[in-house]
Amino acid sequence: MPRLWNETIETHRQDVRNAILDAAGSLANEHGVLAATMSRIAKETGIGRATLYKYFPDAEAVLHAWHERHVIEHLEQLTELASGDGTAEQRLEATLMAYARICHFRARHGAADVGALVHQGATVSDAETKLRKLFGDLVAECQASGGVRDDISADELAAYCLHALSAAGSLPSEAATKRLVAITMSALSR
């Protein structure tokens, strides 16, 4: 087969897969995890169930793939902020704020139901390890520049930040989320 043909087919398959994941995520977020059935996912995507089964064996597998894609996107966003412009402390604060917003958004848009179903396995464990390392490295950089307390290890402070900011999911507003980040940054200060 010509190379162009293979690339076109692969692009089409990826587009269909992304449409399936988008539909499943939308159903789960808007109507709960139980609404993401194979029939409803196929209907929302505009494909037949037989086609859907060529991509995924069941709705749970679709939700796992959707969640994995979501986690990867969040890690990329946080990594970009952590390595972006500004001082180490500015990048830390921006990264903490983004993480708090992610936690807040997940809780507000039904992602807790999906999380309960899919927060298991190697992908999530790997993502959590990367997240802890990302924050640990950034805190260590802030410690080296003198902007963050150094009487506690960077890894412990990173764990503190992640646990503290997970509370953003229960906060009522963006303003409250910003206050939580400010309090967390204050706790890290010398």
**The pLDDT of residue 86:** 96
Q: What is the pLDDT of residues 167-179, one digit of tens each?
A: 998 999 999 999 9
Helices (H), the chain: 3-31, 38-45, 49-55, 59-82, 88-108, 111-118, 121-145, 154-165, 174-188
Domains of the chain from N-terminus onward: 1-57 (1.10.10.60), 59-190 (1.10.357.10)
Q: Shortest CA distance to 75 belongs to which of 18, 24, 123, 134?
A: 134
Percentage, residues of the chain above pLDDT 70: 88
Where residue 39 falls among pLDDT bands split at 50, 70, 90?
very high
User: pTM (2 decimals)?
Assistant: 0.83
User: CA-to-CA distance for 26 and 23, rounded, in angstroms?
Assistant: 5
| pLDDT tier at 65, thresholds 50, 70, 90 | very high
Is residue 67 over pLDDT 90?
Answer: no
Rounded to whole angstroms, the Cα distance separating 115 from 123 reads 13
Is the C-alpha dihedral spanning 13, 15, 17, 23 positive or negative?
A: negative
Neighbours of 7 (CB within 10 A): 10
The span from the CA of 160 to the CA of 148, in Å, is: 13
Q: Is residue 2 over pLDDT 60?
A: no
Q: Are 181 and 100 in contact (CB under 8 A)?
A: yes
